[in-house]
Amino acid sequence: MTDQYLEVEAKFLLNDRVGYERRLRSIGASLVQPRTHEMNYRFDLPDRSLSKESRVLRLRQDQNTVITYKDAALPNQPVSMRREIELKVYDFDDAKSLLEALGYQVYVIYEKYRTIYTLNDLEITIDELPYGVFTEIEGGDARRIEHTAASLSLLWSHRILSSYLVLFEHLRQKKDLKAPNLTFADFKGLSITSEDLGIKAADTSAYL
């Protein structure tokens, strides 16, 4: 597996998005993508074999349209490490039709708002999902990600290696949710806590 296709990242739940973004700017991070809406369609075969093997096939629409494939994450790593291959395409509907013609089916849709900063060669995102606000630090290696998290006053012990959809499935079971998709419309009126998600916020007041 070459570094070109290796995704290395950790995510953290945030209590204070405004304060966190202020710290990002204070350490020299540059805004490269203002808050942008994303729609994500996850595909699988009818037998859900991709999901069972923790592999990902996704079609994303934001400022661009991108097909992404991810292998299962490598085991026993301090951060999430997995092969990721992305292909930019020009038409969302055509890409969706192609995947469906190959036998894949959409099994869940999720949306978020994403803001992107860069710090040297690291990409740092702020993701607003229907159940909370998160940051992802991606690039380099585990040591650099840990160092950057510390400089942003994030508790390393509270890092999250699970995907947003794994957290969604945990939440559905915990709260007995009937919502089929992770969308803002489906979550309207719901109150979700970090305990419901089985995680802890990393920017805790005791640490700041």
CATH number at 154 reads 2.40.320.10
Can you give the pLDDT at residue 205? 55
* Total-model pTM: 0.94
Position 96 in a domain: yes
Contacts of 5 (CB under 8 A, 6+ apart): 83, 84, 85
Position 38 in a domain: yes
Domain count, the chain: 1
Position 204 in a domain: no
- Exposed (0-12), middle (13-18) or buried (19+): which is 134, by Cβ within 10 Å? buried
Position 180 in a domain: yes
Can you give the pLDDT at residue 207? 47
- At 24, the amino acid letter reads L
Instruction: Name the helix (H) or strand (E) containing 18.
Output: helix 17-26
Position 166 in a domain: yes
Position 188 in a domain: yes
The residue segments making up the domain with residue 36 are: 3-197
Can you give the pLDDT at residue 3? 67
Position 207 in a domain: no
List beta partners, residue 81.
8
Can you give the pLDDT at residue 206? 45
Average pLDDT by stretches of 10, the chain with 208 residues: 81 97 97 98 98 97 97 96 97 98 98 98 98 96 96 97 96 93 96 96 70
Position 205 in a domain: no
